[in-house]
Amino acid sequence: MNYRLPAVPTVDQISAEARAKSFTTRSIKKDAKRQALALTASMIDLTTLEGDDTPGKVRALCQKAKQPLVSAPDLPTVAAVCVYPTLVPYAKEELEGTGINIAAVATAFPSGQSFFQDIRLEEVRETVAAGANEIDMVINRRAFLTGDYQTVYDEIVAVKEACGDAHLKVILETGELQTLDQVRKASQIGIDGGGDFIKTSTGKVKVNATMPVTLTMLEAIRDHYLKTGKKVGMKPAGGIRTAKQAWHYLVMVKETLGDEWLTPDLFRFGASSLLNDVLMQWVKLDDGRYQSADYFSID
């Protein structure tokens, strides 16, 4: 179908940056910290996307996902484990029956610079067939940055169809989009194309998730919900390493979209090291002392 990008509001970058900064001034009282830590842990897509990933590394990550802290059985499991497509079978074997989602990056991650039908789209089909129930795709930034919004939209629609019952997260790679106005446009296309989530970044460029970018994307989700009643999820990824940073994002979600989005069904953190800091903070609440993150595994 012919796609015409709807009129989207321009973004005042100075106001967006000031608004985003305001969320970092909020504090969480001590008696609410454990609840905030548990919520953060439950929203993590525990991720390994390195060239030296092995089946053994993925199995170890899955064990950590299933039981983040032996001494804290009340700490929830993470939302998903995210890996490369060829490693999905190992994650599936380890996570069978746990309720933890198996996410995989696809569509020639992270650049997306490959042939669409025979490579990027086929990779999605094979990854779902291997056991992934969540697909993180990258948009065609070349098409987007040259104003070819039809191609960007058509590819998202096709990937969504190829996903079948698997959820689709649409990665905008915001660090390459240059302005918040471009982020807003790309967010709208990702939503219109059928993304179940829109996601900031691959984690493979210099600038990944930032609060002004995430705020811009949250506002696109909010406006779409107010217009259509359809809820779309959000996933900031890359650079969120501490529980305190995560809490700033959760405050932003609450004040932009409301409590309904404070669930792993609608909000995720893409991270590899965030869980370790959550575990450090959890142990500190119990015994008053910080431990090294290395005690919880080196990711």
Give the tokens for residue 45.
Answer: 């897509």
Query: Which of the following is catalytic: 185, 199, 277, 299?
Result: 199
Q: Which of 185, 196, 235, 277 is catalytic?
A: 235
Residues 6 or more apart whose CB falls under 8 angstroms from that of 29 comprise: none
Nearest-CA neighbor of 131 among 228, 225, 62?
A: 62
Amino acid at 142: R
CA distance 111 to 39: 32
Our answer to whether residue 199 is catalytic in this structure is yes
CA proximity to 34, closest of 295, 284, 242: 284
How far from the centroid of its chain's Cα atoms is residue 73's Cα?
A: 25
CA distances from 133 to 99, 237, 272 (A): 11, 19, 20
Strand order in the sheet with 269-271: 233-235, 197-199, 167-171, 134-138, 101-106, 80-83, 44-47, 269-271
Q: Which two tokens stand for residue 111?
A: 């650049």
**Catalytic annotation, pick one of 136, 192, 277, 299:** 136
Separation of CA 129 from chain center: 22
Residue 185 is a catalytic residue: no
Residue whose C-alpha is closest to residue 272's, from 229, 228, 241: 241
Q: Distance between alpha carbon 81 and the CA centroid of its chain, in Å?
A: 11
136 is catalytic: yes
Active site positions, annotated = 136, 199, 235
